Amino acid sequence: MKKIAVVALGGNALLRGNEKGTIQEQETNTFNTCLSLTDLLRNDYNIVITHGNGPQVGNILLRNEAGYNTYKIPKMPIDICVADSQGGIGYMIERMFRNVLTEQKLKRNVVTVVTQVLVDKLDKAFDNPTKPVGAYYLKEEAELLATVNNWIFKEDPGKRGWRRVVASPAPLDILNKKIIKELVKRGHIVIAGGGGGIPVFLDDNKRLDAIEAVIDKDSAAALLAREIGADNFFILTDVPKVYINYKKPDQQALDVLTIAEAEKYIKENQFSKGSMEPKILAAIDFVRNTGHEAIITDASMLADSSQGTRIVK
């Protein structure tokens, strides 16, 4: 039987930091990323792809505001915006991957699963929302919106304005996990868990309801990898390896990183909390709960198993 890999695409896999975010830019980046992923297919893996959605869902929220202010089009809540981004990004990855498969003369089906992720409405993250979403506002605008919508705003550290913040609760369960596992075992390329998944919770009557939150995409990807019995968990980012003393004269690339070493470096604040630290924490979670390896690397390095940083027990 083929091995199963969950591959978490970083934001740069779809959109580079210096780009405007046009569909042409995103399609080019996505095609090149999918081309790199064929190396896993050739190395006897069946794959599940997860992805970020930060810039895309941010744009959807901006359209929400613009549509309401100009035409009074009803605003949609965050769960619907995340679902919209899952569908749109999933479609783009699916189409680009089909083109790659045709070019490479490989035969696989590609399917997108719009994925709900269960959270606890009593998660402590709801006591202190920290995840910024949507547009920047003047302080007076933010205060008015907070009063009208019962939203929470915080000032941007870069002094660009005030932004709404929502909670980032821990993912508890991937609701489509059985379907995803069945599809990937049959050899289909599955795109799932986009943007960390659509956050839902169980109400007092055990009915699913939506909640205003954003789930960390790497944490959700690690949970998905665990729940479908993945053999490896790949986290793709914009650097070939994990570094300590990053961008300093004594910068050091890490080939292998044990859980104990990773936790030590986290305490030393070696990893950026907004980028590398969540990836390290997700890798630790997967390795600790499965005993299998997680690999953090750039997509272009997937052809060479000696590249990247391997996180092990």
Pairing of strands 208-210, 189-192: unpaired
Tell me which residues are annotated as active site: 11-12, 131, 217, 279
C-alpha R_g of the chain: 20
d(CA 153, CA 308): 38
d(CA 201, CA 171): 10
d(CA 131, CA 133): 7
